[in-house]
Chain A
């Protein structure tokens, strides 16, 4: 308990950055993932191919390598300089978006064929079929896998610690500079993550109940 209380400043900054990373990357991943899923089922072969390539390549790349690129490779692009926190957010968003896209696509597959056929029958074009009829139902169907993706994102934020972002995963190295026992600090970090994941699972159950599609 002493480790936590004496270094509450470290824990508070660490977990504040974790939550910022989680929320910002989560929102971007949700938006980008939905767009990629839309491209993946679109009538235009080039768009389908591009989305499939993106998903397959990024999903098969370790997150560590993605962040490695953003932390060490991005500066070589000679673009606007960004801090590691922003770079980590971009990397996490791009990585998580592929999982969101796959979850959305599996959700699209659970919507009964008749729904899409009915939408086409009343003359809706592809974008309206998707956004007005299919996606709203698909999102409700994929709440459990979508929350798994976000729980994974929450835990993945720790990887940013390997690239000097001061979030929860970096608490250990800061603690050891102060000469605190590593184990106690790490166990506190683990415990707080367990609590955060527990909260997310609780929210998931609420959403599931509220948004259940009657079929």
Chain B
């Protein structure tokens, strides 16, 4: 698509592009180099600061924190998908007393910041006498309510984008609405929406990092802890680099799966095309 925006370059333009390309590369190298140099000057790459991360115990703790992040992610992902399907069905219901509350629910929980949701669970409920709110429950509950609402909209958009004939054919052979929904519409909607669903899963994975603010013991929480160890020279930059690599790596793997699935489905003619620009995965 982008190639439509400009003509095939002639000799003059090619020379100009080459110069601009070199300039871009130089600017980027200058910016990155400056940051690296500054960090090097302030001793962020000293062996002392990295020494902390050579201990097996510290490495184990990091692996455990990755596990904590992943378990919050997995739990939240499963429950969000379930909640999303239920809310989508509810909103598509013919009965006003079902569809209206579902509409209100999705709109409400999409509008409240995720961090505030987590805080309501973690700081708000225990003083009211609710027992057993761990940081994990607070993080997962917040993620599920928010992402369930977002996924509900994704499922609904997927179902509504299907050709009318699909549900009409279902009713014509005498299926009740529940069967039309679960057997005919939902499988198709999920397939056409799979890329969006997976990018929303990436959002869930990223948002587990908010758990650090409600003291959930995940990657970023550990990174801050290790970064403040004074006897190793407060290696905040090394631990931020490690946390960054872990997060970006995990998210890229998920995003890679999404891309692969999208490629597979593009070859599959059975999938209904949905205007993708209309639906963008939404951040917390």
Mark A residues whose CB is within 8 Å of B: 40-41, 43-48, 50, 56-57, 59-65, 68-69, 72-73, 76-79, 99, 102-103, 106-110, 113, 116-117, 120, 125-126, 129-130, 134, 141-142, 144-145, 148-149, 151-152, 155-159, 161-162, 169, 172, 176, 181-183, 186-187, 189-190, 193-194, 197-198
Closest CB of chain A to B50's CB: distance in Å? Answer: 15
Q: Which residues of A contact B165 (CB under 8 A)?
A: none
The tally of residues in B whose CB lies under 8 Å from a CB in A reads: 66
Q: In the complex, what residue of chain A is closest to B14 when comparing beta carbons?
A: A43
Mark B residues whose CB is within 8 Å of A: 1-2, 4-7, 9, 13, 17, 20-22, 24-25, 28, 35, 38-39, 41-42, 44, 108, 110-117, 119-120, 123-125, 127-128, 202, 206-210, 212-213, 220, 223-224, 227, 236-237, 240, 243-244, 247-248, 251-252, 255, 276-278, 280, 282-284
Q: Which residues of A contact B44 (CB under 8 A)?
A: 76
Interface pair A182/B111, CB less than 8 Å apart: no
The verdict on A44 contacting B237 (CB below 8 Å), with A103-B280, A106-B277 known, is no
Interface pair B236/A72, CB less than 8 Å apart: yes
Q: Which residues of B contact A197 (CB under 8 A)?
A: 110-111
Q: In the complex, what residue of chain A is closest to B214 when comparing beta carbons?
A: A162
Interface pair B21/A72, CB less than 8 Å apart: no
Interface pair A183/B240, CB less than 8 Å apart: no
Q: Which residues of A contact B247 (CB under 8 A)?
A: 60-62, 65
Interface pair A182/B127, CB less than 8 Å apart: yes
Closest CB of chain A to B113's CB: distance in Å? Answer: 4
CA distance A77 to B9 in the complex (A): 41
